[in-house]
Amino acid sequence: MKMRSQITILSAKIRPLAESLDVLGLPVFVGSRQKALIAIGDRMAEGISTHIVTLNSEMVVNARKEPQFREILRSADIIMPDGVGVVWAARFLRRRRLPRLPGIDLAEGILRTAELAGQSVYLLGARPNINTAARQRVESQYPRLRIVGSHHGYFQGQEEKVIQDIIESRAEILLVGMGSPGQEYFIARTRNRLPCLLMMGIGGSFDVWAGHRRRAARWMRSLGLEWLHRTIVDVRRWRRLGFIPSFLWMVFTAKLSGRQAA
């Protein structure tokens, strides 16, 4: 907690992304995954530091409660509509259909592109055994990908050592799977020290890559029910569903008042 109060948010944005829609005060990307990958590739080619946030409704609620977290989200360079709640809010409030862009799908697209482009990647997050297994799976799936480093996400008291490891790796892409808001806070407080051009929080993607958890069936994903699948297979997530009434209240009050601010 002490770390959060020490964060100075410095946006590295050079130019805003054209394809975005204000949803509850946050500029959410409105294009397809392919367009997102093109935009990311363009920014990397120009040497522009990019922080990608994969936004869900729980994060929107947390941003209302924590002004500093809200500023971190607003300072991000690209905000992807990861959660079905964000997609629904855009349609309800702005009458705009957004394609849902799950973070794990975007991350896999980034890895595939990085393999073709010869770009280097660092994998940070999850428990030690999960991080190791996820790295092995990624190396197997993308054999020409340059993974220049990896570290688990349980490094309390040793953050400086991890930061130095990332710096020495000279990784161009940093994928952080430490859960929200921890991964966003980590990126916000370290991005100006790191060599990485692309930094992205990927939540529980390492667990999936490691084979520790399975994604929902494709039909559930197409119906926007992946959150329900995750809750069923991990009963501990039921406690986190308390944010849903708060999110609905935010959306409906925004509709009635005509204000979009988070």
Provide CB contacts within 8 A for 146, sequence distance 6+: 114, 118, 119, 120, 121
Answer yes or no: are the C-beta atoms of 81 and 9 closer than 8 Å. no
Q: Looking at residue 213, what is its pLDDT?
A: 80
First to last CA, the chain: 22
Residue of 106, 105, 109, 118 lying closest to 144 (CA atoms) = 118
- 3-state SS, residue 53: strand
Q: Looking at residue 205, what is its pLDDT?
A: 96
Q: Looking at residue 193, what is its pLDDT?
A: 97
Q: Looking at residue 219, what is its pLDDT?
A: 61
Q: Looking at residue 14, what is its pLDDT?
A: 40
pTM: 0.87
Amino acid identity, position 40: I
| 65-to-59, 108, 189, 247 alpha-carbon distances in Å | 10, 31, 20, 11
* CATH topology for the 26-32+46-247 domain: Rossmann fold (3.40.50)
Using the CB atoms, write b or e for 223-246: b if 16+ within 10 Å: eebbbebeeeeeeeeeeeeebeeb
Inter-axis angle of helices 67-75 and 57-65, nearest 10: 130
Mean pLDDT by 10 residues, the chain (262 residues): 45 54 95 95 95 96 96 96 94 93 96 98 98 98 98 97 98 97 98 97 96 71 60 63 87 85 50
Q: Looking at residue 9, what is its pLDDT?
A: 47
Write down the H helix ranges in the chain: 2-5, 33-45, 57-65, 67-75, 84-94, 103-117, 128-141, 159-169, 182-190, 205-209, 218-222, 226-233, 243-257
